[in-house]
């Protein structure tokens, strides 16, 4: 295990404890231990097991999913700016959810668990449109993928905006919070909806880290080394879309995690995916858990959407990178 990965795991454990402690109802580490061993009071048990733990689990899973998806998308497109947001996935999920809220307001009866399903379908559809738009002669071109994604994003966001303006005040707030990304009220059922995606897709992607490394050398070199470039790229993209789509479906449009986790990981352990993917996943989880702590406690009792906090942490990091790159003359 690389040292940065060990450090990231320790930090993640620290953030986990902190996340369980802090909130409008404080649980001290001692109480935490007592509750965990079945000697806490009813309130503590309720807060810990029904509210904070599922929410924490969700933060970890979403962070892992988005960061891994981002790393894979960046590897496949050979562009370090590719992430679920830029490929239109987030916008697709957003439009689908707003549409659902809009139709429900107009009397559509939908079961309460519909939102993630609809969001996932929206993310998948948007990804499909992006990939179709980036095709030339039946091949998805990495160079076209970002442009297509930006176009799809712009289109979907415009429609989303029009729809959300027609919502009444309360539903509008709900919609905006969802678009910004939120972990409020996440329960075990939702955790269990997301978990299988990660359990299946993460091992697959980790096992493909060598072909991912080789794809980064360019199509010609990768073909020369015996990688089936088209097939490999198609499966990797599909897996990344599944991972990102499921995360976005359950937590909304949390941005930046897919950019920041992989970026930081690459700086710390280099570009090889065997070492970079696990670290990116850990850093993604650390970022979302930390952002959630801030989101819940900064303006207590008001809660910020976690996506807003992630953005507030992520944007300065990229500005710092830009300033550094400007000085050193590199990117």
Range 223-252, binding another protein (CB under 8 A)? 223-228
Residue 208 lies near another protein (rule: CB under 8 A): yes
Site size for another protein (CB under 8 A): 23
Residue 211 lies near another protein (rule: CB under 8 A): yes
| ∠ Cα 272 287 17 (to 5°) | 120
- Which residues, 6 or more positions from 230, have their beta carbon under 8 angstroms from its beta carbon? 139
Helix intervals (H) in the chain:
3-21, 29-36, 42-45, 53-77, 89-105, 114-133, 142-165, 169-180, 188-207, 209-215, 219-224, 229-251, 257-269, 273-297, 306-328
Total residues found in the chain within this entry:
331
- Lay out the site mask for another protein across 162-201 (x = CB under 8 A, - = otherwise): ----------------------------------------
Smallest distance from another protein to CB 226, Å: 3
Q: Could you tell me which stretch among 16-24, 39-47, 187-195, 208-216 binds another protein (CB under 8 A)?
A: 208-216
Residue 213 lies near another protein (rule: CB under 8 A): yes
Residue 271 lies near another protein (rule: CB under 8 A): yes
**115 versus 263: smaller Cβ distance to another protein:** 263
Burial of 133 (0-12, 13-18, 19+ CB in 10 A): middle
Q: Which of 217, 234, 308, 312 binds another protein (CB under 8 A)?
A: 217
Smallest distance from another protein to CB 11, Å: 22
35 neighbors 27 (Cβ within 8 angstroms): yes
Q: Which positions lie near another protein, rule CB under 8 A?
A: 207-208, 210-211, 213-214, 216-221, 223-228, 266-267, 270-272
């Amino acid at each position: 295990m690389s040292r940065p990965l060990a450090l990231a795991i320790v930090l993640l454990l620290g953030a986990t404890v902190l996340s369980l402690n802090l909130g409008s109802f404080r649980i001290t580490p001692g109480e935490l231990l007592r509750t965990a061993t079945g000697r806490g009071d009813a309130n503590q048990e309720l807060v810990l097991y029904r509210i904070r733990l599922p929410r924490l689990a969700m933060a970890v899973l979403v962070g892992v999913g988005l960061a891994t998806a981002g790393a894979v998308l960046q590897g496949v497109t050979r562009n370090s700016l590719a992430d679920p947001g830029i490929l239109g996935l987030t916008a697709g999920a957003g439009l689908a959810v707003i549409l659902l809220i809009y139709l429900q307001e107009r009397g559509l009866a939908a079961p309460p668990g519909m939102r993630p399903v609809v969001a996932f379908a929206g993310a998948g559809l948007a990804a499909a449109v992006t990939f179709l738009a980036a095709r030339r002669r039946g091949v998805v071109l990495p160079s076209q993928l970002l442009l297509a994604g930006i176009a799809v994003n712009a289109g979907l966001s415009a429609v989303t905006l029009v729809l959300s303006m027609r919502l009444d005040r309360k539903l509008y707030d709900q919609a905006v919070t969802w678009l910004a990304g939120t972990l409020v009220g996440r329960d075990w059922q939702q955790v269990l909806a997301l978990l299988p995606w990660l359990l299946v897709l993460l091992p697959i992607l980790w096992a493909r880290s060598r072909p991912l490394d080789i794809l980064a050398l360019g199509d010609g070199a990768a073909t020369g080394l015996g990688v089936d470039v088209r097939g490999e790229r198609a499966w990797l993209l599909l897996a990344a879309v599944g991972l990102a789509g499921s995360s976005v479906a359950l937590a909304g449009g949390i941005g930046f995690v897919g950019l920041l986790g992989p970026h930081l990981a690459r700086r710390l352990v280099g570009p090889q995916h065997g070492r970079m993917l696990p670290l990116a996943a850990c850093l993604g989880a650390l970022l979302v858990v930390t952002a959630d702590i801030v989101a819940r406690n900064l303006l207590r009792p008001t809660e910020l959407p976690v996506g807003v906090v992630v953005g507030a942490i992520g944007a300065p990091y990229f500005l710092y990178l830009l300033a550094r790159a400007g000085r050193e003359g590199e990117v």
